[in-house]
Amino acid sequence: MSTVRDHFIKQAMEKTRLDEFLMNRLRDAGYGGAEISRTPLGTRITIFALRPGLVIGRGGTIIKALSKELQEKFKVPNPQIAVADIPVPELNPYIMASRIALAMQRGIHFRRATFWALERIMRAGALGAEVKISGKLTSERARYEKYRVGYLPKSGDPAMKYVKSAVYHLLLKPGIYGIKVTILPPGVEFPDKIELKEAAEEVQVEEGEEKSEEGVG
């Protein structure tokens, strides 16, 4: 049992490392996540981006270099990369986390940026969304604030299947901030979804101390 569990933990860690690498490497392309699947011929990777051309490059130069890096740095067997557009950026947690980060870089207060993001996400049709900001928010101590609106399952099969989340780290003068955006996209039906209309009108706020300045849970 522990062997199976260790295998899944290792896979999750590798996926996280790969995701962080792609996010940093393809920041200018508007990286929106990646889907990775193993095939008999190798590894199929679909990269979602706001500007696919910046992932591909002229004559495929960037995507070829990226494929080589994945093979050499991450030991990904025979990576076959495809690039897909993001039809609704407001429903992509990577994009919205990066937009909150950009707003904070420009000096906009994190709460204002968070409420703006939640409004855009819900207006795009999401059933629920959550934004968690951690770091030195209002004092020298690391803490977090979490804002949730709408319906968002936290555990079980629905959460694993449908809920999407992304973490973005931002370095400002006070230190490192973590921005985690979680979205439940439209078109998902749940038997226990009872008070969606009422919940969607109210933003729930949670505050607490962060164990690590860099961590986002």
CATH of the domain at 205: 3.30.1140.32
- Residue 86 is predicted with a pLDDT of 97
Compute the half-sphere exposure of residue 82: CA atoms within 13 Å on the CB side of its CA: 9
Task: Examine the domain organization and report whether 106 and 142 are in the same domain.
Answer: yes
Task: Examine the domain organization and report whether 109 and 162 are in the same domain.
Answer: yes
Is 152 inside any structural domain? yes
- Residue 205 is predicted with a pLDDT of 73
For the whole model, what pTM was predicted? 0.83
Range of the domain at 193: 89-209
Contact yes or no for 197/160 (Cβ under 8 A):
no
pLDDT tens-digit map of 34-72 = 999 988 888 999 999 999 999 999 999 999 999 999 999
Compute the distance between CA of residue 74 and CA of residue 51 in angstroms, rounded to an integer: 24
Is 9 inside any structural domain? yes
CATH number of the domain within which 51 lies? 3.30.300.20
Per-residue pLDDT, averaged over 150-165, amounts to 83
Domain count, the chain: 2
pLDDT tens-digit map of 97-150 = 999 999 999 999 999 999 999 999 999 999 999 999 998 877 777 788 999 999
